[in-house]
Structure formats: C-alpha cells, structure tokens
Chain A
Amino acid sequence: MLFRRSLDSRRAAAARATPPGPLRDFLEVPIDDPRIDWLEGRYLAVDLELTGLDERTDEILSIGLIPVDGPALVHRGAEHLFVVPDGEVGQSAGIHGLTDDRLAAGLPLSEALPALLAALAGRTLVAHHAPVEVGFLSRACERLYGAPLLTRSIDTMALQRRVLRIASDDEVRPGVLRLQAARDHFGLPRYRAHEALTDAISAAELFLAQAAHLGGRTGITLKSLSS
C-alpha cells in the first residue's frame, strides 16, 4: 500500500515535472493496482540487446517486447524494434550477429523509445534480470526526456531464486538462474534464436510458469511478485 502510493505519487509528480511528450504520456497512465491477483494484471515482457552492460557507455541495439494479459501472451502486440546506435556497433556484434547493414534499417532511439513507452503504459515491466532493462531504458529516458523511467518491474531472475528457495545472499551454482536454465526447470521449450523478441517471449513464458508456481492454488498478488 505504501509502495503503491509512493510509486503513484512519484510518477504523478514526475509527470508534472516532465514536458509534454512520450514520457509524460507514459507517466500519466496509472499502473495496475499492486493488490490485485497477478492473473488480473497486465504486463510487458521486455528484452534489450546491448552493446555491453555499462549504462554510461553501452547502447541499445534492439528492443523485443510482448504484452502479457493475465496468464496469456498476446502475440498480436509483440514488437521487435531495431535501434540505430549512435556509435560503432561494439564487440557484441559477433554475439548477436548484428551488422551495420541490418542496423541501418533500424530506428533512431528517439523513435524506438516512444513505441516502447506506449506499449508499457499501465503495465508492469517483466524482464530476466530486470535491473539491466530498467536501467538502460531509464537512462535513455533521461537522455531524451530529461527524467527517469518510473515503472513497476518484475525480475524473473529474482523470482527464480524464490522458486528454487535460494536466499538472496546464498552462493548460487553458476548458471542455474540463467534464462534457459530457469526455463528448463519448468520444462519450457528451448528456443534456437538468440534475439530480443525471442528472449522477451522466453522471459514472458517463464514469468507465467513462475507466477503459477508461486501462486499455487491460493493465488498471489502482483505486489508480492514485483521487485
């Protein structure tokens, strides 16, 4: 309750301080009440492909997103946004198979970010290791609109710790919290592609499995799944 008022009021205050534009529009839409059961919540699973993990220097290469309405992934709303980076494509090009050519067909971040914000409006962001996604997106908002991204998020990596009953300070066997390992735990299929949309879908499906597991027969509130 306290959390909700705090996030809502912070978002309302930020909306007033933000000039008209995509971020302000986003901030003006209230996010689902955190006291509702997760099955009634609306989510947006997001995955970013990055040139590296340093928010200050690395850049977003692509954004994959898919809305999740309660227990269902809504394919129709899926988007795969390619972003034209400001600098050269970093060393991760080899990993992601991205080329300057393909990126040339992409959007500048100033066009990709509004699309993401529109899709996220009213929803809780879901990502595997969400702090990275939230951090990069918030940083991008600051650069483009002068204010951070205030959103509720759910981290499927943190949820997997709870599923596996691993205390936050416990030593973790390397790899058990990785996206594919977590999916294997629930018997979810293995996907071949390694790109932002597939990973967003992977995180979304994992989230459904985790929430169903943690909610059991009694259900679980959106708040108790949120970071």
Chain B
Amino acid sequence: MVAELVEVQEFLVAHAPFEALPESVLRGLPPRLTTRYYRRDTEIVAAGSHNDEMFVLRSGAVEVRDPHGGLVDRYDTGRCFGWAALLSDGIAPFTLTAIEDSLVLVMPGEVFRELSRTQPMWSVFFQHSLSETMRMAVRAVHTADRGTTVLKTKVGDIIRRAPLWVTPATTIRSAAETMRDERVSSLLVMAEDELVGIMTDRDLRNRVVAEGRDIEQPVSAIMTADPISAPVESMAFELLLSMVAKNIHHMPVTDGGRVVGLVSSTDLMRLERANPVYIAGDIQKMTTVEQLAAVQPRVAEIVGQLVTEDATADDIGRVVTAIADAIERRLIELAEVRLGPPPGPYCWLTLGSAGRLEHGLSSDQDHALILNDETLAGPDGDAYADYLSELATFVSDGLAACGYRYCTAGLMATNPQMRQGLSRWLDTVARWVENPSDDTVHRVRSFFDLRPLHGDARLFEELQRAALAETADSMPFLGHLAAQATRTQPPIGFFRGFVLEKGGEHADTLDLKDRGVRLVVDLARVYALAGGLPQVNTQLRLTAVEGTGRLSAERIADLKDAFEFISYVRLRHQARQVRAGAEPDDFVPPDELSQFEKRHLRDAFQIVRQAQSVLTTAYPDQG
C-alpha cells in the first residue's frame, strides 16, 4: 500500500496542468515522482544535454537561459519546466539553473509521456506552451543576427572571393594580364605567405604608363609596399572611413594575420546599392533581357543583407517578389514593344510562390494568361491568340534568362492550357474541381495562388470569384487537396534518426522547401479554398482562416510561427550560399544548423505534423 502524500497532492492540484487532471489520475501521481533539492547557483539541466524528466518547482526560483547565455525566463513556485526536451528529441533547448535554493518535484519522462497519451488536456497544455517556446525561438534567431544597415555589417561578410595575388618578382605585364583575365582592379603581392604589397589600376596608370616604365620590370617596383590592412572583424563603415581618410580604394582583410580577402571601396558602396527600391527603379529603365538578367546577383545581395538585418522571412519574401514582379512586368512591356500593341485586353497572372508574395532565391516561374472572350470570338481572334502565345514565349524565355527556372509542372502561359479565354478558364477550373484526380490536383494546385500582374484585372477578378465559388466546401476536391498536402510529412525524426535526403546530389541534407515551407503553404491553401477565401499569401491565408472557425486560433498562431521559422532558416541558408558564391538551393546540411535551430526546427515540424493530422480528419481523402 502506498501512503497518501497529502502535501504533494495538494500542491499539484493547485497548479496547471495538474489541476485539470481527473482526481483518480492525480491521486496516482505523487508516488511516481521524486523530490530533489538544488542549491542556489546549481545547474539543473544544461542546454544541449539529454533530459528525460519534467520538473515542477516546489519552492525557490529557476532561471532559463538560451545556449548563448541570453535570459529567456524566470520561473517561480508551481511552474513546470524541462519538458521541452520531452516533447522533441530529448535534448534540452535551454539551460535551467536554480537561482535560489530550490525544491523540485521530478516526473520521469515515461510518466509524462503516459499522461500525454491518455490525458488530452495534458497534451493541449504542453503544446500550447510549446508554441510559446516557438515564439521565443523566432525572436531569438532574429536578434542573434541582428544588425541594421551598412553600419552593422562586418567586413568578413562582404568578402566575396579568395584574394588574388602575385609574387614580387612577377612582371608588371603578367600582373596586368591577371587583372584583366580576373576582371579585378587590384592584386595583392605576397612573398611566402606574407603580404608585402598591393598593386592597383591606379599604380598602372601613375607609375607605369605616366612614367613610361618598362612593363617587364617586377611588380615590386610599382606596388605600394606594406599596405594597411584591416582585421576581418572590423565594421564596414570603419573600413570605409579609413579608406576615405587615406585616399585609398582597396584594403586587404586579415584574419589572425592571414590575408583572407581584399575589399574595395566599390564593395562598400554596393552595400548601399543593394536596396530594393533602387533596384526596382533600375529595372524600369532597362531595355534588354541581358540588362534584366544582370539584376539577379543584386537580388541575392539584398536577401543576404535583409537576413543579416532584422527582416522577417515574410518581409524578405515580399521584397524578392516585388523585384521578380518588376522584372516580369518589364519583360511583358518589352514584349509589347517588340510585338506591337495587343489586339485586345488580357490579364497576365502570376502564380505559385510569386502569387503568394513568397518568392525565394531558388523559385521557378509560374504564370498564366486570361484572354478576352469577345476578342477571341471576333475577326482578329486568331491573331490575338497568336500574339499572346508569342508574348508568353518572350516573357517566359526572358524570365529563364533572368534566373527563374521553367516550371516543370507546365504552369506557364506558354502552355495552351494556361492561356485561355475567360469562359474556357471557368470550364477548366470547374472540371478540375468537379472531377478531381490526384494527378491534376497535384499539378494545378499552385494555380490557386493567383495574382494579377499586368493587364485587365477584371478578368482575374471574375476567374478568382468563380474559382473560389467552385472550391468552397467541395468535398472530393478538397479531399484530394488535403491528401496532397499531407502526403509528405515534415522530417520529425530529423536529428534523432536524421531523416535526410537519401542519395543523389543532395544526400544527407534537409529539404526545407518540400519538407518544410511547402507543407504549410499546402495546408493554408486547403483551408483557404475550403472557406472560399481570396487571400493567397500564406500568412494572410492563415489569418483569414481564423475567421472561418476551421482551425483554432492557437493552432493558427503556431502554424504562422512555424512557417516563419522554417522560411527564415531556409532564407538564411540561401543567403550563406550566395555569400559563399554558390547557387542558392533548399537543401540544408544539418551541420549548418545550431543546436538551437535544430531543436526549434523540430518543434516547428511537430506543429506542422499535428496540423496535418487535423487536416486529414477534417478532409478525408475520398479518392
């Protein structure tokens, strides 16, 4: 017979979530716990360590710090803590320290899990707390890399390539050839790993050409010896200031005495130029596809900079989309210039991630055209159709030249199915919705993320209104869509089992697009279409879904945070790739993630997974 631990039971019943447990369950708990005492300033759990216990503070006080030492929270009597590890992979996300002498009730992980399985309110309580932790994580990543404008950029972040160098004995001619071939305006002069000088365009002009010097002389004769260098930790503005003061345009950057790069005043100026407003303005003035194609590297710079600053993934998506819009719109205008004025009104739609204002650095192109029924039926119908076919080809090829890959699912206006008169469009959408097949739904789901980009917006409005009227509460279609949305699951086991891409080019990486961001996009789309909601942006869709009562406010808030977190990690990965001179992609090697990010990614994946289960219940697949 187990004695009744009156004091423990009375304590538990006075605190959440125990208060809500049935009495029979509550009564059985005290014997399954232990009591521990922690002296002031002792660590209870260290961040990153394994933890399989939940604690309830009986008396005293406990401080919570993130792995960087930042204070996250302070707990007092009655507070449950240490459970975050139990909900994920068993690794503690935070360091928990007794800051006063503390008496703590300890619940073994197995008891916690048993309650999670058998007591619905128990899971609800901790899931809710999990979302609070999630919000803390979102704040934490945004402050970790915080910086504002150029004033906060470190020199190390703007070095783009390894320094080019020659030996002191290299001839001036050969050095100049290197500069020409590498398209640089300066070279370092190195003698056995040591920086001995720097040679620039200006030296060639002033000390070679103007002085009529023999170009077969060694560079040591014309270089600036013992140049000033800056440590890699310097701030960009410090460098700019000292360059202006000394009237120099190039400065070697060193890391622990080793030369790691060369920064020019142009590099520093470019920081300012990487401003989306300037870029959109520039795009407006461009007249060739080649000029437009040159914009892409600047977009990558902007993303890198926005990530370093305090921008959210949502903001960054909007900025990148705004630039993509400007390019796409400019291409349409250039097509109209080349093909002459259009024979009738039309509407160019942008679809998919661009439609949702969620363009990333590795997005492809999705678009469609709505044609005017009257013009099509009129005498110039064929010419009109041909005109728009040519326009579509021009724009699509232009986009491809600008770095937006062709859509593999054929959601492009070059595809005749994506280029129809309004009435035929209405038929097409009705057919998709009324006779859905897995294949069609999979292929065309991005069509429902549509936004008018150019032309007669009334065509878009009619099509969208009709489409939403079709999809709202249309069970078989929504069932297919829900099945699509839940077919791929987030990599919950990631980090314990390392559920990564198997084989191929992206072996052992985490696909944050297909197994992360896209899952939330798909979830939000099902609910939006089910509710006949016109929003297409995922965050806006989720907000609007709340009004329909189809998902709880809490779950929606969780999903938004999860979406923001995953998107942010993905964008930062891409920004790092761009900084390293690589093509941005969605495949994140786990090593690139901090413990903190891994844990919160898992939290985010868990939230997505739960939302998928809810969706499956609400919209069972009837196919």
Q: Which residues of A contact B (CB under 8 A)?
A: 64, 71-76, 78-80, 186-189, 191-193, 197-198, 201, 204-205, 208-209, 212-213
Q: Are A187 and B101 in touch, CB under 8 angstroms?
A: yes
B35 touches A205 (CB 8 A): yes
Determine the chain B residues whose CB is within 8 A of the CB of A198 once the complex forms. 6-7
Q: Is the CB of A78 within 8 A of B2?
A: yes
Q: Which B residue's beta carbon lies closest to that of A193? A: B6
Contact flags (1/0) for B373-393 with A, using CB distance below 8 Å? 000000000000000000000
10 pairs of A and B residues whose beta carbons are closest in the complex: A208-B37, A73-B35, A80-B3, A72-B34, A212-B39, A78-B3, A189-B59, A76-B31, A75-B31, A72-B36
Task: Verify A208–B3 contact, CB threshold 8 A.
Answer: no
Q: Are A205's CB and B37's CB within 8 A?
A: yes
- Verify if B32 is at the interface (C-beta below 8 Å from A): yes
Contact B103 A188 (CB under 8 A): yes
CB of B138 to closest CB in A, whole Å: 35
The one of B5, B32, B60, B101 that contacts A201, using a Cβ cutoff of 8 Å: B5
23 contacts between A and B (CB under 8 A): A64-B3, A71-B36, A72-B34, A73-B35, A75-B5, A75-B32, A75-B35, A76-B32, A78-B3, A187-B60, A189-B11, A189-B59, A193-B7, A197-B3, A198-B6, A201-B7, A204-B35, A205-B37, A205-B103, A208-B36, A209-B101, A209-B103, A213-B39
* Interface residues in B28-87 (C-beta closer than 8 Å to A): 30-39, 42, 58-60
Q: In the bound complex, what is the Cα–Cα distance between A204 and B5 (angstroms)?
A: 14
Least CB distance from B26 to A in Å reads 14
Whether the Cβ atoms of A75 and B33 lie closer than 8 Å is: yes
Interface residues on B, range: 20 to 34
Residues of A within 8 A of B32 (CB): 75-76
A191 touches B7 (CB 8 A): yes
- Residue of B3, B7, B31, B32 ringed by the most chain A CB atoms within 10 A: B3
Min CB–CB distance A205 → chain B (angstroms): 6
Give Cα A79 to B31, complex, Å.
10
User: B473: CB under 8 A from chain A?
Assistant: no
- B546: CB under 8 A from chain A? no
A72 and B31 contact, CB distance less than 8 A: no
B4 within 8 A of partner (CB): yes
Closest residue on chain A to residue B4 by CB atoms: A80
Residue of A nearest to B61 (CB): A187
Residues on the A chain within 8 Å of B31, using CB: 75-76, 78
- Overall SS of chain A's interface: mixed
For residue B37, give the distance in angstroms from its CB to the closest CB of chain A: 4
Nearest chain B residue, comparing its CB with the CB of A185: B101
B residues lining the A interface (CB < 8 Å)? 1-8, 11, 30-39, 42, 58-60, 100-101, 103, 106
Determine the distance from Cα of A79 to Cα of B32 in the docked complex, in whole angstroms: 14
Give, as a whole number of angstroms, the nearest-CB distance from A101 to chain B: 18
**Which residues of chain B are within 8 angstroms of A193 by Cβ–Cβ distance?**
6-7
How far is it, in angstroms, between the C-alpha of A74 and the C-alpha of B31 when the chains are bound? 8
A187 contact set on B, CB distance < 8 A: 59-60, 100-101
Q: A188-B59, A209-B101 in contact; A72/B2 too (CB < 8 A)?
A: no
Q: Bound state CA distance, A213 and B37, in angstroms?
A: 11
Q: Is the CB of B35 within 8 A of A72?
A: yes
Partner of A189, one of B5, B33, B103, B106: B103
Task: Give the distance to chain A from B383, nearest Cβ to Cβ, in Å.
Answer: 86
State A80–B32 Cα separation when bound (angstroms). Answer: 17
Cβ contacts under 8 Å, A75 to chain B:
5, 8, 30-35
Q: Give CA–CA (A192, B7) in the complex, Å.
A: 8
In the complex, the chain A residue whose C-beta lies closest to that of B102 is: A187
CA–CA, A75 to B32, complex, Å? 7
Q: Is the CB of B7 within 8 A of A209?
A: no
**Alpha-carbon separation in the docked complex, A138 to B103 (Å):** 32
In the complex, what residues of A have CB within 8 A of residue B103's CB? 188-189, 205, 209
In angstroms, Cα B60 to Cα A189, docked, is: 9
CA separation between A189 and B100, bound complex, in Å? 13
A13 CB, min distance to chain B CBs, angstroms: 34
With A72-B106, A193-B7, A205-B35 in contact, do A186 and B2 touch (Cβ < 8 Å)?
no
Q: Which of B30, B37, B106 contacts A209 (CB 8 A)?
A: B37
Query: What 19 additional pairs, Cβ within 8 angstroms, besides A73-B34, A205-B37?
Result: A72-B35, A73-B35, A75-B31, A75-B32, A75-B34, A79-B1, A79-B3, A80-B4, A187-B59, A192-B7, A193-B6, A197-B5, A197-B6, A198-B7, A204-B35, A208-B37, A209-B101, A212-B37, A212-B38
- B34: contacting residue among A64, A74, A191, A213, CB under 8 A: A74
- The docked-state distance in angstroms from the alpha carbon of A197 to that of B103 is 18
Q: Output the least CB separation between A1 and chain B (Å).
A: 29
Residues of B within 8 A of A80 (CB): 3-4
A106 to chain B, nearest CB (A): 13
Most chain A Cβ neighbours within 10 Å, of B32, B58, B103: B103
Cα A192 to Cα B6 with chains together (Å): 10
Q: Which of B5, B39, B58, B60 is close to A78, meaning CB atoms less than 8 Å apart?
A: B5
Give the complex CA separation of A189 and B104 in angstroms: 11
Name B106's closest neighbour in chain A (CB-CB).
A72
* Contact residues in A for B3 (Cβ distance below 8 Å): 64, 78-80, 197
User: Is B2 within 8 A of A76, CB to CB?
Assistant: yes
Q: Which residues of A contact B60 (CB under 8 A)?
A: 187
Distance in Å: Cβ of A213 to nearest Cβ of chain B = 7
Q: With both chains docked as a complex, state the minimum distance between the C-beta of B92 and any C-beta of chain A, in angstroms.
A: 19
Q: Which residue of B lies closest to A69 (CB)?
A: B34
Cα–Cα distance between A64 and B8 once the two chains are bound (Å)? 15
The residues of B that contact A204 with a CB separation of less than 8 Å are: 35
> Distance (Å) between the CB of A182 and the closest chain B CB?
13
Nearest residue, chain B, Cβ from A70: B36
Q: How far is the CA of A186 from the CA of B100 in the complex (A)?
A: 9
Q: Shortest beta-carbon distance, A163 to chain B, in Å?
A: 12
**Contact between A189 and B58, CB atoms less than 8 A apart:** yes
Which residues on the B side are within 8 Å of A73 (C-beta)?
34-36
CA distance A201 to B10 in the complex (A): 15
CB distance from B31 to the nearest CB of A (A): 5
Provide the residues of chain B in CB contact with A186, threshold 8 Å.
101
Least CB distance from B13 to A in Å reads 14
Q: Which residues of chain B come closer than 8 Å to A74, judged between CB atoms?
A: 34
Residues in A neighbouring B35, C-beta threshold 8 A: 72-73, 75, 201, 204-205, 208
Q: In the complex the two chains form, what is the Cα distance from A191 to B59 in whole Å?
A: 12
Chain A neighbourhood of B30, CB < 8 A: 75
Residue of B at shortest CB range from A186? B101
Please measure, in the bound complex, the distance between the C-alpha atom of A205 and the C-alpha atom of B106, giving whole angstroms: 14
| Distance, CA A80 to CA B30, complexed state (A) | 14
- How near does chain B come to A2, taking the closest CB pair, in angstroms? 31
